[in-house]
Amino acid sequence: MTDNNTRASLSDCHTDALILHGLVQAMEELQGSTTPQAFQATGALLMMIERMAGCLSNDLEALI
């Protein structure tokens, strides 16, 4: 994720996509767990995935 003053490169977007993929895989690993820690981790992952996906979308749009 780049800051608001820096334009992302295609390489930055690729890296962000790889990170998002890993976050989704982590969420899949937590699926089915009913511990309080798993619920907390799932919520944190979901929030980060949403934030990164939005930034990635904006960064890709700027590259077009």
Confidence of residue 6 (pLDDT cuts 50, 70, 90): confident
Confidence of residue 55 (pLDDT cuts 50, 70, 90): very high
For residue 23, what pLDDT is reported? Answer: 97
Query: Measured between alpha carbons, how far is 22 from 1 in angstroms, rounded to an integer?
Result: 15
Per-residue pLDDT, averaged over 29-44, amounts to: 94
For residue 7, what pLDDT is reported? Answer: 87
Per-residue pLDDT, averaged over 30-43, amounts to: 94
Tokens of 5: 């003053």
Write down the pTM of the prediction: 0.82
Give the DSSP per-residue string, 14-50: HHHHHHHHHHHHHHHHHTT--SHHHHHHHHHHHHHHH
